[in-house]
Amino acid sequence: MARYIKSATMERGHDLEAIRATVTEIIEDVRTRGEDAVRDHSRRLDAWNPGSFRVDEAARRKAERELPETLKEDIRFAAAQVRNFARIQLENVKDLEVETLPGVLLGQRTIPVASVGSYTPGGRYPLIASALMTVVTPRVAGVERIVAMSPPRSEEGMHPPTIYAMTVAGADSIYCVGGVQALAAMAFGALEGLDPVDMIVGAGNAFVAEAKRQLFGTVGIDLLAGPTEILIIADDSADAEVVAADLLGQAEHDPRSPAALVTTSEDLASRVAELVEKLLETWPTAEVAGPAWRDNGVIVLVDSDEEAVEVSDDFGPEHLEVQTRDPDWYLERLHNYGSLFLGEESTVVYSDKAIGTNHILPTMRAARYTGGLWVGKFLKTVTYQRLSRSASVEIAGPAGRISAAELMFGHELTAQIRIERYGRKK
């Protein structure tokens, strides 16, 4: 039976009631007043009021010129990995046409979304890798127009590596705008020269997540995400220091980020608990990771591998690491996670930054019903039908009678007219 060595003291996620009204006000203001509202909120929240929010070609060249060559190489490498995996995924999304009855041809086609707005966070951390995840992937999917936005980091505007990443990824236009006003601007086309987009994607803080929730319907979204999460399943073969470091590596995202260890080893549970506290003494982002571990850290001792699977699937973590003797045993049995990291050699930071899988992933148990961002999120799977006249007559009977039973007599007539035109089947 599962025993909690350490329990979280806070509920997962954010207090949306404290955020919802603010987000609603900003969205409605941008919807009704357009760029003036974007400018007012940008000035008030980010102390940012440029002549133009658009990052022009000169600014793109400046960012490229001033970045260290090693960082540019790393960004290009990461972009290539994301692009390559997205292309492989796309190759496995197939159109089809099948004959389900004589003369009845049913098919499906995948059509890219026409335009996408990519949001890259830049508050506590300027997440330049997020620009790659949310621009490269729709570009591979065939999206025609991609708008990228991120908030200012200084008086000069956006973080230069973020500008470079957006450029390398293939963004058509880049704007230095942050937060709720950025998402609303993309949804409503509320900046000069900016047409509304069809879909908004990207990570962000609780205000960004709530803005996506409220804008859904006006535009499509990728998914709703709360603070970053990690859960590690480990047995007595795991290295306690590696486990502790991986927990804190994700805890540094946000003071509300859950970090959980599920283990069959009581000794490992004790060692990890001790090592986390020791590592926090010198951890470079202890001001964030410390509160996250104190309030949201969890250590669960379980009796068996099967119970570890049960606890993990109930948690439904965004990131799930398996550091056991036989990670493949878990691969075959785990169901609820955003992305899975098998073996000590795999770690979340690889996926977050450079390995090629996408790091926009479900949190707060959403892994029970959705995966993360991938090339297919930008494809509409649409269906079509093609019938011979004899097949049309055959389908008309059941379709018409079901329509009549539903009292939808107009529907019945559209089936009946085909029977009359094509002749009753004998």
Residue 319 annotated in active site: yes
Separation CA 138–CA 280 (nearest Å): 39
Separation CA 229–CA 273 (nearest Å): 18
Task: Determine which one of 229, 252, 318, 394 is catalytic.
Answer: 318
How far is CA 302 from each of CA 66, 156, 240, 330, rounded to the nearest angstrom?
Answer: 52, 52, 17, 15
Separation CA 230–CA 318 (nearest Å): 6
Task: Determine which one of 14, 253, 319, 359 is catalytic.
Answer: 319
Sorted by sequence, the CB contacts under 8 Å of residue 286 that are 6+ apart come out as 280
Which residue shows structure tokens 């790659």? 132
Which residue shows structure tokens 């990670």? 327
Contact between 84 and 139 under an 8 Å Cβ cutoff? The reply is no
Residue 318 annotated in active site: yes
Range list of β-strands (E), 219-313:
220-221, 230-234, 259-263, 297-301
Which residue shows structure tokens 């009678």? 401
Separation CA 416–CA 15 (nearest Å): 56
DSSP bridge partners of 116: 146, 199
Q: Nearest-CA neighbor of 384 among 108, 104, 96?
A: 108
User: Residue 171 phi/psi, 5° resolution?
Assistant: -65, 135
Q: Enter the tokens of residue 328.
A: 């493949």
Q: Enter the tokens of residue 41.
A: 């909120």
Sorted by sequence, the CB contacts under 8 Å of residue 122 that are 6+ apart come out as 150, 151, 152, 153, 158, 159, 162, 178
- Burial of residue 361 (number of CB atoms within 10 Å: 0-12, 13-18, 19+): buried
DSSP-assigned letters across all residues of 98-142: EEEETTEEEEEEEEE-SEEEEE---SSS--HHHHHHHHHHHHHHT
Contact between 151 and 55 under an 8 Å Cβ cutoff? The reply is no
Separation CA 144–CA 185 (nearest Å): 19
Count CA within 13 A, CB hemisphere, residue 288. Answer: 17
Sorted by sequence, the CB contacts under 8 Å of residue 58 that are 6+ apart come out as none
Q: Which are the catalytic amino acids?
A: 318-319
